Amino acid sequence: MTMPRSHPFAQVDVFSPTPYLGNPVAVVLDAADLDDQAMQRVARWTNLSETTFVLPPSAPEADYRLRIFTPGGELPFAGHPTLGSAHAWLEHGGTPRSGDRIVQECQAGLVEVRRGEGILSFAAPPTRRSGDLEQGYLEQVVAAFGIDRDQVLGHQWVDNGPGWAVVRLATAQEVLDLDPDLAQIPTAMVGAIGAYPPGSEHAFELRTFAPGVGVAEDPVCGSMNASVGQWLTNTGAAPASYKVSQGVRLGRAGDITITADPDGTVWVGGATSTCFRGTAAL
């Protein structure tokens, strides 16, 4: 029998300035000796929306390589695990090749993470699929959400890896009131966004439902905020800089900052803090 090996481990809270009110990610560092089966087994056991494994990079320009697992499978990219893993890597002594610019390698490609103004932010990767939802799928989502079709102001594929789609409702309260029947959309990766009144602390409330990977509702979702941010800023439906609230219905206080650079790059940022640190016997 192979004896377990100790791996540095951190559980990092992401996207909330108050620890334990954001979205946790489990990060296993120095994970080069673990195979796919072991990684998936750990992710099922932690039962968090994502568990990540930090490996040596294979791309010469990358600082590290990241594999991201949900309880149900591997993702090519995810947002809050990207920021939480960068945070854990830095705390573990990681030194970026280029100052405050960290380059993460993952299945979706190279993702840039920058440090500034007390938070980490990642550059939104390009979407793999965009455009309006097909009518039949939109009708399924509307039925599962228990809303009327005329409540949907807009809808879009916003897939940057996980398969995201989103519907836009008129108000944040409509989003908060959703009580979806996910049994009607068991393979969906879908969200809903709605606006807060002008002058509010946050511009939008976002909720993210991911039954397709075994996560009923993701407390705070960086990858969906990234692709929705690209959609809203590109179409003029949101300003170049705005804040999003997420996780209210789950007792969280997610606080996400979206910033679109003049060149069109969308950055997704938030606070990160280590809540648990130790070793994992794997």
Catalytic center residues: 50
* Helix (H) and strand (E) counts in the chain: 5, 17
User: Is the four-CA dihedral 259, 211, 29, 61 of positive or negative sign?
Assistant: negative
At position 197, the amino acid (one-letter code) is P
CA distance 26 to 14: 11
H or E stretch including 228?
Answer: helix 222-235
Q: Kindly state the tokens that stand for 94.
A: 């990681």
- Does residue 203 contact residue 229 with C-beta atoms inside 8 Å? no
Long-range contacts of 65-68 (CB under 8 A, 24+ apart): 65/104, 65/105, 65/106, 66/104, 66/105, 66/106, 67/31, 67/39, 67/106, 67/107, 68/106, 68/107
SS3 45: helix
H or E stretch including 206?
Answer: strand 204-210
